[in-house]
Amino acid sequence: MILIPHEVQIRASIRSGSVYYFTEESFSSSEPHYFIVLNHTPATDEVLLLVCSSSRIESVRRRRRQVPKETLVEISHGEYPEFTVDSIIDCNSVITKNIEELVDKLKVRKLKFKTEIGIEIVRELRFGVLASPLVAEEIKDLLI
C-alpha cells in the first residue's frame, strides 16, 4: 500500500467548497465542527478562509440579530447531506488557517475530509462574508 504524504493529500484535494471536520482550539466547545473553504484558489493561497456550521440555528440568529440577514446562511440536510441536521453558517465569523495547520491536524488524525459542498452555496457564503459589517476588509479582499 502506498502512503500519500499528508501535505499532498490536502494540497491535491483542496478547492472552493472543500469541507473539513475538526475541533477548533479557539472555540469554547471541544466538539468537532464542519468548516467550509471559501477561497477561489486555496491550494496556492497563503491564508485559507473558513466558515463554520452550527446546528444551533435559533441561538445563532439571536446572537446575530443586529447583522444583515444575508450574513446568516441556512443549509438544510437535503442541500448538504453530510450535515446530519439543518445548520446555519455565520458569515460574520471567518476562521483563517494555513494549509500547514490542516496538514498537522490530518497527521494526528484530528481532521476528516467531508464531501465537497456545492459551488452555489459557496457563492452564497462568500456573499454573506462580503455583506458582513464585522469581517475585516483584508479578509473580504481575499474573496474578491
Residue 38: the pLDDT is 98
Read off the pLDDT band of 95 (50, 70, 90): very high
Read off the pLDDT band of 2 (50, 70, 90): confident
pTM: 0.95
35 in a structural domain: yes
What span, in angstroms and rounded, lies between the C-alpha atoms of 15 and 52?
A: 16
Sign of CA dihedral 23, 49, 36, 39: negative
Q: Which residues make beta-bridge pairs with 42?
A: none
Whether residue 114 has pLDDT greater than 80: yes
118 in a structural domain: yes
In tens, the pLDDT along 40-50 reads 999 999 999 99
What CATH number has the domain bearing residue 27? Answer: 2.30.30.110
1 in a structural domain: no
Residue 105: the pLDDT is 96
CB atoms near residue 97 (< 10 Å) = 18
Q: Are 16 and 39 in contact (CB under 8 A)?
A: yes
Whether residue 98 has pLDDT greater than 80: yes
User: What are 34's three cell numbers?
Assistant: 464542519
What is the rounded average pLDDT of the residues 55-83?
A: 96
Whether residue 1 has pLDDT greater than 80: no
The residue segments making up the domain with residue 112 are 6-141
What is the pLDDT of the chain when averaged over all its residues?
95
Q: Count the domains in the chain.
A: 1
What is the rounded average pLDDT of the residues 83-98?
A: 96
